[in-house]
């Protein structure tokens, strides 16, 4: 994770500019948000929203520059939670407290590494075809048609296989 030093963002006599704050902090914040949403489009929008919400506080001088990234992550999480609440209002009534592990603030590299290990372990418990379909579709990003061609199966079969594989993974990861 990028560590922001006071010297990068000015001293007590010089409050950092918008450029200085964005240039030195955007990458860890974007990565943090991407981890939650897993797509670039939403990650870009939410990163932007986060900085818009946070900037007046950061520029007020009340937040220590060494705490900028922590502060921005908290704001990002609030933006994400607002978004999730809005989606829930449009959809079914789900208890907001039942936010899954993706929604936690866990950002510790050790925890992330443990989670990665957990997922890889779960994948290894699938049969070969199921693992292949998940690897091709999600990890390598192939379309259903491409995956069907590579696995010499019909598209409908690929959809069924990936559905079952994900059900199994969900059970393993519970």
Partner 1 sequence: MENNERKVSDFIDRLNKEQQPDEDEYSTESDELKELYQTVKLVKSVKDPTMPGPDFQKKLISSVKSEASRKRPQNKRKWAFFISIASAAAIIALIVNVMLPFGNSNIVNVMADAFEEVEAYHGTLEIVEMNANGKSTTQVKLEVWADKNGHYYIKNLEGSNKGLVTVNNGEKKWQVHPHQKQVHIFPSTPDGYRFNFELGNEINNVTNALATNVIGEDTIAGRKATILEVTPKGGEPYQIWIDNETKLPLQKQTAMHNAIQYKITYTEIAFNNTIPGKLMDYQLPKGFEEIDKNSEQVVTDINEVQEAVGFTPKTPRRLPAGYVQDRLVVVPSRDVAKIYYKGEKGKRIVVSQGESNGEFKPAANAILGKIDNNTAEIQSPVQDFVGMLGGGDPYAEGTNVNSIRWQQDGFEFAVVGNTPLEELVLLTEGLTDGEFKMPTVDEQEFSPQVEVPYDLTKEKNDQKSVDAGSSPWKLDPVFVAQVFVSLKISPDGIIGDYPISMDELEVIKNTGDEAIIAVSGDKTSIKKVYLKRLVRQDITGIWTVVGYDPA
Residues forming contacts to partner 1 in the complex (CB under 8 A) are 18-19, 22-23, 26-27, 30-31, 34-35, 37-45, 47-48, 51-52, 55-56, 59, 83-84, 87-88, 90-92, 94, 100-102, 115-116, 119-120, 123, 134, 137-139, 141-144, 159-160, 162-163, 166-167, 169-170, 173
Shortest distance, position 93 Cβ to partner 1, whole Å: 9
User: Closest Cα partner for 25 from 43, 7, 8, 49?
Assistant: 8
Are the C-beta atoms of residues 2 and 28 closer than 8 Å to each other?
yes
Min dist. Cβ of residue 118 to partner 1 (A): 9
Indicate the residue among 91 and 109 with the shorter CB distance to partner 1. 91
* 62 Cβ neighbours under 8 A, 6+ residues apart: none
Other CB atoms within a 10 A radius of the CB of residue 50 amount to 24
End-to-end CA distance of the chain: 29
- Burial class, 159, CB count within 10 angstroms (exposed 0-12 / middle 13-18 / buried 19+): middle
Taking the least distance from each CB to partner 1, the nearer of 7 and 98 is 98
Nearer to partner 1, 67 or 86 (CB): 86
Nearer to partner 1, 100 or 152 (CB): 100
Query: 44 Cβ partners below 8 Å, 6+ apart?
Result: 30
Contact 131, 170 (CB under 8 A): no
What is the smallest separation between the CB atom of 122 and partner 1, expressed in angstroms?
A: 9
Supply the minimum distance, in Å, between the C-beta of residue 37 and partner 1: 8
As measured in angstroms, the least distance from the Cβ of 8 to partner 1 is 15
Smaller CB distance to partner 1: residue 13 or 120? 120
């Amino acid at each position: 994770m990028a560590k922001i030093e006071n010297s990068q963002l000015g001293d007590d006599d010089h409050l950092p500019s918008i450029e200085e704050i964005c240039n030195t902090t955007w990458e860890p914040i974007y990565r943090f948000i991407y981890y939650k949403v897993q797509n670039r489009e939403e990650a870009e929008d939410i990163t932007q929203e986060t900085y818009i919400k946070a900037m007046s506080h950061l520029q007020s001088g009340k937040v220590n520059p060494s705490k900028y990234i922590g502060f921005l992550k908290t704001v990002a999480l609030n933006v994400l939670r607002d978004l999730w609440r809005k989606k829930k209002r449009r959809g079914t009534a789900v208890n907001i407290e039942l936010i899954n592990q993706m929604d936690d603030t866990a950002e510790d590299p050790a925890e992330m590494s443990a989670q990665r290990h957990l997922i890889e372990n779960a994948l290894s418990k699938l049969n070969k075809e199921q693992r292949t379909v998940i690897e091709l579709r999600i990890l390598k990003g192939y379309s259903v048609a491409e995956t069907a061609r590579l696995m010499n199966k019909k598209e409908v079969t690929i959809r069924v296989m990936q559905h079952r594989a994900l059900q199994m993974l969900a059970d393993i990861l519970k």
